[in-house]
Structure 1
Amino acid sequence: MTEISSPAETAEGVSTTEEINSQTSPIVLDDLDGLSFDEAIEGTIISFEDGDLVRGKVVKVDKDEVLLDIGFKSEGVIPAKELSIRRDVDPSEIVSVGDEIEALVLQKEDKEGRLILSKKRAQYERAWGEIEAVKERDGVVKGVVIEVVKGGLIVDIGLRGFLPASLVELRRVRDLAPYIGKTVEAKIIELDKNRNNVVLSRRAFLEENQKEQREEFLDNLRPGDVRKGVVSSIVNFGVFVDLGGMDGLVHVSELSWKHVDHPSSVVQVGDEVSVLVLDVDHSKERISLSLKATQSDPWQEFADAHKVGELVYGRVTKIVPFGCFIQVADGIEGLVHISEMALHHVDLPERVVSPGEELWVKIIDIDLQRRRISLSIKQAAEGGEVAAEYQEAFGEHNYDEYGNYIGPYAVADFTPETESQAAWAEYVAETFGAVAGGDDDAEGVGSEEGHDSGE
């Protein structure tokens, strides 16, 4: 390399050769080391192939693409769809001019001679390695929820991770929309690069983090405890109740003392309820609860309020070959055996009663343990003490000194005032042949004399 200085000028105001040399940079004649100019240019350009990862600086951001300077002879183009795993995004939301990013080479030169790059695929390649390492050590990934899809959520963890709806929380979530934009942590439960499949479980993460809390919660829970909770979900076989730390199951058989066709007929999601703890299974972390155990037992209430020999009013609910069932209280049905349906022999129960028919029956047995009540239509015709809940409806003058019902015909000018009174009057008339408004000699239903005449 040789330096050339300008010749000295003699004109006034022009610097001498020494002054010029001292103020200017040297002029380089040849520093190519034998290379041609084109070869020298090529030497300053980085070398790469399709599929390689490169780094560069963002020099321009348009609505459809981003230009990236990676030190190549021309700037690389990143199409908008190759910027992010998120769909329909504005490039300016992903990168800014001056950002240094990594990209994967899709085409070194397309039909138009452009270098085509992809930021999302570079991110994808990096993410797979990291995610595989996390899965290997049973770790946790963190990402932002970017989409709601059929069956769950898509989480940005460097690639698209699928989080099933059933694994978003400890219990199934119906509305997933509020999770959009939220950062969540999850465990990786399935990983298949060939199928581009990553399945996540936030529930597994929550369960792992809440294990100590659950153990402490279960330790403090005892069978027989009564707890308040909120109905969190309803299924065909029962309902789940959030006890403030864990969910317990109320089986359909423990929902009500009455027959339950479907749990939704008893409670709704969000209802606050009191439940009795039936069992705590520490190994399976399961809690069995009862709703009906915290409520009054209608069978016990009926047994406490009634006794054998009393008359009660009921409605025929079902006819069977061996008799009929009669509802005598809310949720309480008793059986009238075919032998107790009439004074005469009965071949077919439907010849004596009809579904929906209302009539008086006598209690002849109460088996609280087996929850069975035996009733008699035949013995009701003999009269007897009317259950307390009916006595007020018929008035004091219709009972003798022992509490036996003697009927409205004991009073000559009696006129039925209620449906129950009218039904009883009709029943007595049909059974004993009495005539409404009969004379003073008419026998009472409950009297010994009346009973004899009825036979």
Structure 2
Amino acid sequence: MPNYKPEGLLIDTPANRQAFHSLSALQEAHASGRILESRAVVCDPDHNLIVDMGAWRGIIPRDEAALGIAEGTTRDIAIISRVNKPVCYRITGFVKASDGTVIPQLSRRAVQQECQDNYIASLVPGDIIDARVTHLESFGCFVDIGCGIPSLIPIDAISISRISHPRDRFSPAQDIRAVVKALEPGGRVSLSHKELLGTWSENAAMFSAGETVAGIVRSVEEYGVFVELSPNLAGLAEPREGVAVGQHASVYIKSLIPEKMKVKLIIVDSFEASWRAQPTRYFLTEGHLNRWRYSPDCSDRLIETVFDGD
């Protein structure tokens, strides 16, 4: 059974590259129904995609470029936006141009339909899956969950620590993990991300009172400054002039209070910096979640996500 991964993960594999070594290799891939990947190089005026296959230029007709195009439920921007990016497809046949050039005929829609039927339709809330970031909007992060099929992680589901925009956490083409939050009508999948970044206790265990550590300023309020220590842990520092959202900071940890899920901080310094935060640490990368509780057992405040049950 094929492994239905986000687009871009297959293109540089030896098996994929081997398919373009000769016409006979392409014909074998056609006969076996293999899923291939190549870079789309042109979207013509009729919104057909032209694909770089080494010595050949394959064509994905408009109606075969994505699920829903033929029915009008998917807009043509889904085709146009694939130019200069990897696309998956199957070879459906070959035609010869008037000059004798062989033009492979391709279908991305067929691969997406198979991915939908054999993989996405089998997902249930709580499943942890692979995803690749495609683009970012103020309200959330769009990802490819398999063969170019899109899904959304709303901004408030990205992490416990609040961010002003998904770009604070992700970048296009980044490979991430996500957890299925819900299955929506029409086969769409709603995702979450924060449940994979650890509980309050797991994150707090990485820090100790008396340490001075790195952080990122996420919010400046009259009563204090919220500084993120990790994506699922932020603390409150006393007000300080000249501090701005997005700045990096060095902060002294006064105390960690699990009963109140609080971290008390003192800002030693805050400054602009060009470097990015450390790569995301996942506490969970595979399997299934029925229930995830962020709150420590000793806390009266309950923050949790229930994936199964009522």
TM above 0.5, yes or no, is no
Using the size of structure 2 for normalisation, the TM-score is 0.41
- CA radius of gyration, larger in: 1
Using the size of structure 1 for normalisation, the TM-score is 0.30
Structure with bigger helix share is: 1
Structure with bigger strand share is: 2
